[in-house]
Amino acid sequence: MEGVFRHAAAQQGRIDLVLSNLYRADCPLDLEGFRRAPLATEPFPHLVMPNFVKPAAAAAARAGFPSSGAGGLATAPDPEHLGALDPRFAVLLARLRSPETTAAFAEKFGLPLSHEALLVTLRDRCRPQDGRIHTDSESKLVTALVYLNDGWEPEGGRLRLLRRIDDMEDMIAEVPPLDGTLVAFRRTDNSFHGHKPYDGVRRYVMLNWMVDAGAAHREAMRHGLSSVWKKLTGGLHSF
């Protein structure tokens, strides 16, 4: 039993060291710029911010983004598994999941967002069937997408915030998924969004602040994603 405790203590020490090193790195996020950025309120609260991830940090995170070779979402690794990721990407992920980031989004949207109820997912490819117009489920309070792509010429794959569920052209904003760009919006019954079809690499980190921690856990389970982190160092097939 004593050996088990020693092993657990050593493992926790390694986790603490990884997190300490990540947080000592320069913050890759422009949170001050985010706090100053205006929040549009019509027809639903939303914000588009280029360079939310600082340019050099975005390029580094893109280079370290885990590659799947397939479509679909994967849950981001828990803090204790960040050491398995490329550190150029891990430092961004750690900051996105930090309480400070949650507090900034809570203040911006005027909602009691919880760090414990944050679901973070990753995706690196888009499929032709993706992008249909929809609103998010009622279990989500705020959705944020952080894109990591170097340039974007195609018409497809550009997220559109929309006024209607039946018209892809009736848009409030169209957002190329460029390095460091943030799109964030409050979930409402009319927070319609989608994009024209695209097939290929399209990297992003998605943050969903859920109504509670239980909802975040259930959403991860619904996608069957609880163990995907194990594949992120190689042979990832499901996102």
- Could you report the per-residue pLDDT of 114-141, keeping only the tens digit for each? 999 999 999 999 999 999 999 999 999 9
**Predicted pLDDT of residue 154:** 96
Task: Give the end-to-end CA distance of the chain in Å, rounded to a whole number.
Answer: 39
**Predicted pLDDT of residue 15:** 44
- Is 31's pLDDT higher than 70? yes
- Is 12's pLDDT higher than 50? no
- Is 239's pLDDT higher than 50? no
Q: Quote the CA–CA distance of 203 and 124 in Å, as a whole number.
A: 4
Mean pLDDT is lowest, of 15-29, 75-89, 222-236, for 222-236
Class level of CATH domain 2-231: mainly beta
Q: Which residue has the higher pLDDT, 73 or 95?
A: 95
46-49/140-147 β-pairing = unpaired
Average pLDDT over residues 83-87: 92
- Is 93's pLDDT higher than 60? yes
**Predicted pLDDT of residue 109:** 99
- Is 95's pLDDT higher than 70? yes
What is the pTM for the complete model shown? 0.85
Q: How far is CA 147 from the centre of its chain?
A: 8
Structure token digits, residue 232: 């992120």
Q: Name which of 146, 145, 172 is nearest 160 in CA terms.
A: 172
Task: Pinpoint the alpha helices (H) of the chain.
Answer: 2-24, 31-36, 55-63, 87-96, 99-109, 213-222
pLDDT range class, residue 103, cuts 50, 70, 90? very high
> What percentage of the chain has pLDDT greater than the value 90?
72
Helix (H, G, I), strand (E, B) or coil at 116: helix
How far, in Å, are 14, 29, 53, 141, 147 from residue 229 at the CA level? Answer: 18, 23, 23, 25, 20
**Predicted pLDDT of residue 18:** 52
Mean pLDDT across the chain: 86
Answer for the pair 156, 197: CB distance below 8 angstroms, yes or no. Answer: yes
- Per-residue pLDDT tens for 171-205? 999 999 999 999 999 999 999 999 999 999 999 99
- Is 223's pLDDT higher than 70? no
pLDDT range class, residue 25, cuts 50, 70, 90? low
Contacts of 83 (CB under 8 A, 6+ apart): 14, 15, 18, 90
- Is 70's pLDDT higher than 70? no
pLDDT range class, residue 68, cuts 50, 70, 90? confident
Structure token digits, residue 38: 């205006």
- Is 9's pLDDT higher than 60? no
